[in-house]
Amino acid sequence: MLATLCQYESMLGPYRPQTLYLLTKVAGACFQVGEFDFARPLLERAVRDTGKYLGYTHDLRMRAIADLRDLATAQGEYDRAEVLQAELRQLAPHTMVLQ
């Protein structure tokens, strides 16, 4: 998946919806397998870039924030996780992705 992400960034550009979708998926997969140091910068980039190019309340951005919150919790960064959860709660009326 990482090689595909690099190809998408090269061929389509880093801010195309397809690239941002794959970026978020790769970051989430890295988090799920415990590659926290690799996942964090990808998730932070996904949150920043999806917000800038797809919209602040885009479902993909919300998913990246939720994964970043879970990563912060897994690493014992509870203050950071609380801030991310507050952002999700604030944006929840604008999206249907989170339950």
pLDDT band at residue 99, thresholds of 50, 70 and 90?
very low
For residue 40, give both structure tokens: 């964090």
Mean pLDDT of 3-23: 91
Q: What is the dihedral of CA 1, 29, 63, 11, to 10 degrees?
A: -10
Helix intervals (H) in 1-99 = 2-11, 17-32, 36-53, 59-74, 78-91
Q: Is the pLDDT of residue 58 over 50?
A: yes
Chain centre distance of CA 65: 5
pLDDT at residue number 98:
47
pLDDT at residue number 94:
65
Q: Which of 45, 82, 47 is nearest to 63 (CA)?
A: 47
Q: Is the pLDDT of residue 96 over 60?
A: no
Percent of the chain, pLDDT > 90?
Answer: 78
Mean pLDDT of 32-57: 94
Residue 98, amino acid: L
Q: Is the pLDDT of residue 12 over 80?
A: yes
